[in-house]
Amino acid sequence: MRHAIAGVALLLVTTGCVSAPRVTFSAVPPFICKGQATTLSWDTDASGAIIVASPATVTIGPVAARDSRRIALSETTVFTVTATKSDKSSTARQEVTVVDAADAQGVHLDPKKCENGASIYETDIPSDKWPEIVRMGDVTLSSPLAFDLIVEHAGQKVTFEKGKLATAAFAGTPFSGHFRATLKTAKCDDALDAVVLPTNLSCAP
């Protein structure tokens, strides 16, 4: 007796798992002065990408998968690049901080302590708001002092003698960083409430 054997054929269909596209994005430099330009560079394995800016002071829109673009800005802007492949998306963001040297009124030093009979004033100007591209020029006191004032910043140590109002010793040094001033009064009680050093600032090209 013959027995029929029924064969069952299995058809295996393999579908690959599609991953989200790879995206790299950079802005160089990330700090610029008002009116200067930064270079945006991007690279993705998708067929293309879209770049939007916030606030929308500049328009970029659809771009090639790999490219760069130089853009001048007048205010701090966040750029977002989005790449899509097989209904999956990836994004990357870059913030470009725009600084305006005209916004700074000078260095404001608050009294901190009395040290060896002198009043000590100190302050730190943050580099995330005032990057090193913002440089100092002449420093001028608003009025002559009755006592000598010693100001230390960026490796420089300058003495404003009685009646001396200006110095160019800090010219070219970064506006950001630590400032320390020593006012050699007869006693600490004679110290001022604060010391303000008006300074001319400029943006490095």
* pLDDT tens digits, 13-69: 445 567 899 999 999 999 999 999 999 999 999 999 999 999 988 889 999 999 999
Q: What is the pLDDT of residue 191?
A: 60
Domain assignment present for residue 1? The answer is no
My answer on whether 113 and 86 are in the same domain is no
My answer on whether 118 and 190 are in the same domain is yes
Show which of 50, 73, 99 is a domain's final residue: 99
Domain assignment present for residue 155? The answer is yes
Domain assignment present for residue 58? The answer is yes
Residue type present at position 151: V
Provide the token pair at 22.
Answer: 């790879």
Range of the domain at 189: 101-203
My answer on whether 144 and 59 are in the same domain is no
Domain assignment present for residue 13? The answer is no
Question: Rounded to whole angstroms, how far apart are CA atoms 201 and 136?
Answer: 5
Q: What are the DSSP calls for 27-43, one per residue?
A: EESSEEETT-EEEEEEE
Instruction: For the full predicted model, state whether its pTM sits above 0.85.
Output: no
Question: Rg of the chain's alpha carbons, rounded to an integer?
Answer: 30
Show which of 78, 99, 120 is a domain's final residue: 99
My answer on whether 106 and 38 are in the same domain is no
Residues 6+ apart with CB under 8 A from 57: 73, 74, 75, 77
My answer on whether 119 and 192 are in the same domain is yes
Q: What is the pLDDT of residue 17?
A: 66
My answer on whether 56 and 117 are in the same domain is no
My answer on whether 65 and 88 are in the same domain is yes
Nearest to 65 by CA among 37, 90, 33, 28: 90
Question: Rounded to whole angstroms, how far apart are CA atoms 130 and 9?
Answer: 72
Phi (first) and psi of residue 135, to 5 degrees = -115, 150
Q: What is the pLDDT of residue 82?
A: 96
Tens-binned pLDDT, residue by residue, of the chain (205 aa): 444 445 544 444 445 567 899 999 999 999 999 999 999 999 999 999 999 999 988 889 999 999 999 999 999 999 999 999 888 999 999 999 999 888 887 898 888 888 877 888 999 999 988 998 999 998 888 777 777 889 999 999 999 887 678 889 999 999 999 999 988 777 776 666 788 888 888 887 7
Q: What is the pLDDT of residue 30?
A: 93
How far from the centroid of its chain's Cα atoms is residue 44's Cα? 26
Nearest to 84 by CA among 63, 114, 115: 63
Phi (first) and psi of residue 67, to 5 degrees = -170, 180
My answer on whether 67 and 117 are in the same domain is no
Show which of 49, 83, 99 is a domain's final residue: 99
Question: Rounded to whole angstroms, how far apart are CA atoms 12 and 148?
Answer: 89
Question: Could you give the number of structural domains in the chain?
Answer: 2
Query: What does the mean pLDDT of the chain come to?
Result: 85
My answer on whether 115 and 187 are in the same domain is yes
My answer on whether 82 and 166 are in the same domain is no
Domain assignment present for residue 9? The answer is no
My answer on whether 92 and 106 are in the same domain is no
Domain assignment present for residue 6? The answer is no
